């Protein structure tokens, strides 16, 4: 992907913005192509920006004419962050937002009509193992979509959806999903402790089991259901545990409620 100097403006250099910046640099995008707008980046991030030869600014300046504006700030501060950015948008600019819940309609109220993409990555993007859901409005042309796709793919695969409303469901499943997995590890470790294991051993076993199972699923072409069946011997210990987890009142209805709650909250954040 050919990227011109100062053609990417990254707004926000926190965890997600920093992960995207690192991914872009690692993929070969020159630092000279990137301007980071952040009033107070961490010392580590400021050093990373400087080492990469990227530009850092605390405010939007009129000389910026970006091809891509990448919004990586929290939804709660968008009202304050967006208005100064309107002057940066030109006919060739595409705006990409990764703020949970904030609709393209909300962005247009502050930025006017423009080519826009609403995207939802997740925190494994920080190690290049994330997944991103994305939706483009009708003003995004094929070249812009390809450019955004390439920028997002530095952190993992990108799944494009055809309805903006689906992004709230993406947020509930994969955007928030890493927290569900981390909590699963906590629950497994606590159950192991109650079964008699030392707490630190139970946690190590739970962490390695979940990370190893995830890597196996990543590498295997088999569906998750088949991988589960491969571990489950009829009448064995795994089958005994699954009879509880897969019961009518087991994990599935809990996840149904959890995903619905997360999706509803994403919709509320857009208002």
The CATH number that applies at residue 236 is: 1.10.3730.10
Task: Map tokens 């606590």 to a residue.
Answer: 190
Cα dihedral 101, 105, 111, 112, rounded to 10, equals 170
**173-231: pLDDT as tens digits:** 999 999 999 999 999 999 999 999 999 999 999 999 999 999 999 999 999 999 999 99
Residues spanned by the domain of 137? 8-162
Give residue 204's pLDDT.
Answer: 98
Nearest-angstrom CA–CA distance, 134 and 153: 11
For the chain, the domain total comes to: 2
pLDDT classification of 100: cutoffs 50, 70, 90: confident
Q: Both 182 and 154 in a single domain?
A: no
Q: Are residues 153 and 205 in the same domain?
A: no
Report yes or no: 74 and 50 within 8 Å, Cβ to Cβ: no
pLDDT, position 151 = 93
Among the three residues 162, 195, 225, which one is the final residue of a domain in this structure? 162
Helix (H, G, I), strand (E, B) or coil at 104: helix
Tell whether 64 and 152 lie within a shared domain.
yes
21 plus 147 within the same structural domain: yes
Q: Would residue 168 count as lying in a domain?
A: no
Asked if the model's pLDDT at residue 41 lies above 70, the reply is: yes
Domain boundary among 132, 162, 192: 162
Do 140 and 231 sit in the same domain of this protein?
Answer: no
Query: Is there a contact between 171 and 120 (Cβ–Cβ < 8 Å)?
Result: yes
Q: Are residues 182 and 150 in the same domain?
A: no
**Which of 6 and 47 is assigned the larger pLDDT?**
47
pLDDT at 271 over 90: no
CATH of the domain at 87: 3.40.50.720
Q: Is residue 172 part of a domain?
A: no
* Number of neighbours of residue 40 by Cβ within 10 angstroms: 8
Confidence of residue 2 (pLDDT cuts 50, 70, 90): low
What distance in Å separates the CA atoms of residue 211 and residue 182, rounded to the nearest whole number?
A: 10
Are 14 and 39 members of one domain?
A: yes
* Residue 167 lies inside a defined structural domain of this protein: no
Q: Considering the domain boundaries, does residue 1 fall inside one?
A: no
C-alpha pair distances (Å), 249 with each of 141, 243, 244, 245: 47, 11, 9, 8
Residues 152 and 182 in one domain: no
265 shares a domain with 140? no
The label of the residue with tokens 């850092």 reads 56
Determine the Cα–Cα distance for residues 19 and 124; give it in Å rounded to an integer. Answer: 9
Q: Looking at 135, 162, 189, which one is the last position of a domain?
A: 162
pLDDT of residue 6: 63
Asked if pLDDT for residue 5 goes beyond 80, the answer is no
Q: What's the chain's average pLDDT?
A: 93
Would you call 70 helix, strand, or coil by DSSP? strand
In a domain, 169, yes or no: no
- For 216, residues 6+ apart whose C-beta sits below 8 A from its C-beta are 227
Q: What is the pLDDT of residues 70-96, one digit of tens each?
A: 999 988 889 899 999 999 999 999 999
Question: Does 2 reside within a domain?
Answer: no
Nearest-angstrom CA–CA distance, 186 and 181: 9
């Amino acid at each position: 992907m050919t990227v011109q100097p100062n053609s990417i403006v990254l707004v926000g250099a926190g965890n997600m913005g920093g992960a995207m910046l690192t991914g872009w640099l690692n993929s070969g995008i020159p630092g000279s192509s990137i301007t980071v707008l952040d009033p107070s980046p961490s010392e580590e991030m400021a050093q990373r920006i400087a080492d990469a030869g990227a530009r850092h600014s605390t405010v939007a300046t009129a000389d910026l004419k970006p091809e891509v504006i990448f919004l990586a700030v929290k939804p709660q501060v968008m009202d304050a962050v967006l208005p100064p950015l309107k002057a940066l948008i030109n006919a060739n600019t595409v705006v990409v937002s990764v703020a949970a819940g904030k609709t393209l309609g909300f962005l247009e109220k502050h930025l006017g009509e423009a080519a826009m993409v609403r995207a939802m990555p997740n925190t494994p993007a920080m190690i290049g193992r994330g997944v991103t859901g994305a939706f483009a409005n009708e003003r995004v042309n094929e070249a812009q979509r390809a450019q955004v796709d390439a920028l997002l793919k530095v952190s993992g695969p990108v799944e494009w959806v055809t309805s903006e409303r689906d992004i709230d469901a993406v947020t509930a499943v994969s955007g928030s999903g890493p927290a569900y997995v981390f909590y699963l590890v906590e629950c497994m470790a606590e159950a192991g402790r109650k079964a008699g294991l030392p707490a630190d051993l139970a946690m190590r076993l739970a962490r390695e089991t979940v990370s190893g199972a995830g890597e196996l699923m990543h590498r295997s072409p088999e569906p998750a259901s088949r991988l589960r069946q491969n571990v489950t011997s009829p009448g064995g210990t795994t089958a005994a545990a699954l009879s509880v987890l897969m019961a009518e009142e087991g994990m599935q209805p809990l996840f149904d409620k959890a995903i619905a709650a997360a999706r509803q909250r994403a919709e509320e954040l857009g208002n």
